[in-house]
A and B are shown apart, each in its own frame.
Chain A
Amino acid sequence: MTSAEISRRTILSASGAAALVGLLGACGTNTGRGGGGQTIEQWYHAYGEPGVQQAVERYAKAYDKATVNVQWNPGDYDSKLSAGLLAGGVPDVFEASLEISAVRSGQVVPLDDVIGSAKDDFTATILAGHTVDGQVYGIPQAVDMQMLFYRKSMFDKAGVHPPTGVDELIDAAKRLTTGGVKGLFAGNDGGVAVLGGPSLWSVGLDYVTPEHEVGFDEPEAAFAISKLRELYASGAVLQGAVKDWAEPDAFTQGLVAMQWTGLWTVPAVQKALGDDFGVLPWPRLDGAGRPSVPVGAFGAMVNAKSQHVEEAKAFVKWLWIDRTDFQEDFNLSYGFHIPPRQSLAAKADKLTKGAASDAVRFVRDNAKSSNPPDWIPSMKTAFGDAVSRVVREGADPGTELKAAVQKARDELKRLYG
């Protein structure tokens, strides 16, 4: 329903096993140091990959200016975090996507002095996702992105080329649908949740413009969404898979020839299919559009109600700006992320080959923010509802989008006046 928010949470919420593993280590870890007498509470959501928890605890222990308590939060991290921020001063430091409402209600502090001159080293699209009214509120930790995976052998057999346009993609999906294999899998909702954004970008539009106007109040938006309907109605899209789009199972089990999923699945896909797959951005639809990949990153933030704002900021600067060795380790040693700092991404061996190097190139050339701070939940709901009604129920795209535009316009007016 809402635009895809890419983070490791997505996978986790689909993976009970990972949550269970997380549960075993659910308790906060006191690093047992006297330090400078201050204690900083730092919260993470439970990453699915083994080793991340131990790694972040190791980083915390290495900090000598204060004691840092790492709390690992399996389960519904979002709700727990919002309750914590509402209630008061715990946590001091946490990871999250930035929402403009958190800035407007004074829950987070600006970190411009923390990021300092390192600002230019961060990928611009990623940093924009942590910037409101020109101020930076989160230091990006690790980049996640989504893209289109395709099975080379199936394409060869059907004599289909990797699509460079949306119409080609629909045609390919149809031709690849044969005997128990569907052309494309993009989620059990038929791609409604994850393909809304890429569709807007495919005709050169966006959720919200830099001038804080509604970005999809154009007839082309309706045309772009009608293409998703065309794809859905063609019968070439898989629905009702056991695992949703965030996991590669439908693709690796050969149920589909293409799947829209995330960078994080690359190791699993490689293991299952070897070299028999390639990756693509979502193609463009018309001359105004460009191929696109949605990107997002959790950022390290400081709670404005914290009793130790300055100490917390110093810790964030130390971990997420100064200690590039830890940032590299965090991004590359466990799961499969792209470091948000270009200087680190450039020298990462793991990202120079195959699908990973394509992904790095897409992030450089085709990145679109999957979750801009002022694309707020009520707008996402209105837009997602409209896309869902068009794609899954065949409603008129013009009429449906008009209602979403109205809602988004009201909210933007409230936010920016």
Chain B
Amino acid sequence: MRRADTRAFWLFVGPFALGLLAFVYVPIGWSVLLSFFDARNTVTPTDFVGLANYVDMLSDGPFLRSLGTFSLFALFIVPLTFVLSLGLALLVNGITVMQAFFRSVFFLPAACSYVVASLVWKLSIFNGVRYGLANTVLGWFGVDPVAWIGSTDPPWYWLVLVTLRLWLQVGFYLILFLAGLQRIPKHLYEAAWIDGAKPGWQTLRHITLPQLRTTSVAVLLLNLIAAYQAFDEFYNVMGSAQGYPPFARPPLVYLYYTSLGSGGQDFGHGGAGAVLLALVIVAVTLLQGKVILR
């Protein structure tokens, strides 16, 4: 019996674990290894350089700037997503008719590919010529066409990137919050009402939010990691065949150009940067968890 159990365990877990090992853990380990070598155009380097790649990356202006930019981006996008998805979840949870409909409608964008959404945002809504959607609307009010993605003063490209990300991810977090809301026992609210609490802000502040704490922490953490891992929509909206501009450049895009993008092939520096980025994410996540779960 016990023997059969073990066999079943490996039968089910084995293929998955093997895939994880081959395509996730080995590459991670390998890139950590590469980060200690001068590995240009090779993945089997021989030239050990110790921490030199790390020193280079830590004194590398563009990489540090990208970390700075994306810490700011996280500060901005994480609370915004949190508030919007929680707000929508409360509204959807509050209605009694067509709840399934609204839930699906808000979740639908999450099923859209980042690349497709990026192209829609870039080519049709926010293109810079006079017949773009946003510029057409501005045109009704006599405003000249704006180069949404090209202009840096003011940096309109943030409007494009932030609205795109919100559209894509709010629905997903809304579902998480909805699940959290529906798990809150009804009797808590009933007890509160009997005790004289008013529906609305008071119950939200003292019952709903505390009960949602684990969900909130999960949403915040996922959101934060997603902010640092930004790649798809940035690469597709801002990048061109000639490369990527130095602003709004996520760390991953910079590392991509260093180690993989057309002819870069510098796996040593790329690996070191990836390790540093991972450390930053771990540090910020731990810090955030500590602050919230205090």
A interface residues (Cβ-Cβ under 8 A, vs B)? 1-5, 9-10, 13-14, 78-79, 82, 85-86, 97, 99, 101-102, 104-105, 107, 180, 187-190, 192-194, 238-242, 244, 246, 255, 376-378, 380-382, 384-385, 388-389, 392-394, 403
Q: Could you tell me if A377 and B240 are in contact, using CB atoms closer than 8 angstroms?
A: no
Query: Can you name 8 A-B pairs with beta carbons within 8 Å?
Result: A2-B243, A10-B241, A82-B263, A105-B41, A240-B148, A377-B261, A377-B263, A388-B245
Q: Could you tell me if A244 and B147 are in contact, using CB atoms closer than 8 angstroms?
A: no
- A101-B263, A378-B264 given; A240·B243 CB < 8 A: no
B interface residues (Cβ-Cβ under 8 A, vs A)? 40-43, 61-62, 123, 126-130, 132, 145-153, 240-247, 257-258, 260-266
| A-B interface pairs (CB < 8 A), number | 122
Q: Could you tell me if B151 and A239 are in contact, using CB atoms closer than 8 angstroms?
A: yes
Q: Which residues of B contact A238 (CB under 8 A)?
A: 128-129
A2, B140: Cα distance in complex, Å: 38
- Beyond A97-B263, A188-B149, A192-B245, 16 additional pairs, beta carbon < 8 A: A1-B245, A5-B262, A82-B265, A86-B43, A188-B128, A188-B150, A238-B128, A239-B149, A240-B128, A240-B147, A244-B241, A376-B263, A377-B261, A377-B264, A384-B243, A392-B247
Q: Is the interface of B mostly helix, strand, loop or mixed?
A: loop
Q: Could you tell me if B240 and A378 are in contact, using CB atoms closer than 8 angstroms?
A: no
Q: Could you tell me if B127 and A242 are in contact, using CB atoms closer than 8 angstroms?
A: yes
Smallest beta-carbon distance B55→chain A, Å: 13
Q: Could you tell me if A86 and B42 are in contact, using CB atoms closer than 8 angstroms?
A: yes
A135, B146: Cα distance in complex, Å: 50
Nearest 5 A-B pairs (CB), nearest first?
A: A240-B128, A1-B243, A193-B242, A239-B150, A239-B147
Residue from the list A180, A192, A377 in contact with B262, Cβ < 8 A: A377
Q: Could you tell me if B266 and A241 are in contact, using CB atoms closer than 8 angstroms?
A: no
Q: Which residues of A contact B263 (CB under 8 A)?
A: 78, 82, 97, 99, 101, 376-377
Q: Could you tell me if B62 and A385 are in contact, using CB atoms closer than 8 angstroms?
A: yes
Q: Could you tell me if B265 and A240 are in contact, using CB atoms closer than 8 angstroms?
A: no
Q: Could you tell me if A240 and B266 are in contact, using CB atoms closer than 8 angstroms?
A: no
A188, B61: Cα distance in complex, Å: 25
Q: Could you tell me if B150 and A190 are in contact, using CB atoms closer than 8 angstroms?
A: yes
Q: Which residues of A contact B153 (CB under 8 A)?
A: 393-394
A41, B293: Cα distance in complex, Å: 59
Q: Could you tell me if A4 and B242 are in contact, using CB atoms closer than 8 angstroms?
A: yes
Q: Could you tell me if B264 and A193 are in contact, using CB atoms closer than 8 angstroms?
A: no
Q: Could you tell me if A101 and B243 are in contact, using CB atoms closer than 8 angstroms?
A: no
Q: Which residues of A contact B264 (CB under 8 A)?
A: 377-378
Residue from the list B127, B258, B260 in contact with A241, Cβ < 8 A: B127
Q: Which residue of B lies closest to A78 (CB)?
A: B262
Smallest beta-carbon distance A351→chain B, Å: 26
Q: Which residue of B lies closest to A377 (CB)?
A: B264
Q: Which residues of A contact B260 (CB under 8 A)?
A: 79, 82
Q: Could you tell me if B265 and A101 are in contact, using CB atoms closer than 8 angstroms?
A: yes
Smallest beta-carbon distance A343→chain B, Å: 31
- A102-B41, A378-B266 given; A242·B246 CB < 8 A: no
Q: Could you tell me if A187 and B129 are in contact, using CB atoms closer than 8 angstroms?
A: no
Q: Could you tell me if A1 and B132 are in contact, using CB atoms closer than 8 angstroms?
A: no
Q: Could you tell me if B240 and A240 are in contact, using CB atoms closer than 8 angstroms?
A: no
A194, B266: Cα distance in complex, Å: 24
Q: Which residues of A contact B40 (CB under 8 A)?
A: 101, 104-105
Most chain A C-beta atoms within 10 Å of own C-beta, residue among B127, B263, B265: B263
Most chain A C-beta atoms within 10 Å of own C-beta, residue among B123, B242, B243: B242
- A188-B128, A239-B150, A240-B147 given; A403·B61 CB < 8 A: yes
Q: Could you tell me if B243 and A380 are in contact, using CB atoms closer than 8 angstroms?
A: yes
Q: Which residues of A contact B150 (CB under 8 A)?
A: 188-190, 239-240, 392
Smallest beta-carbon distance B153→chain A, Å: 7
Residue from the list B42, B126, B242, B244 in contact with A194, Cβ < 8 A: B242
Q: Could you tell me if B241 and A240 are in contact, using CB atoms closer than 8 angstroms?
A: no
- A240-B129, A377-B257 given; A388·B246 CB < 8 A: yes
Q: Which residue of B lies closest to A98 (CB)?
A: B263
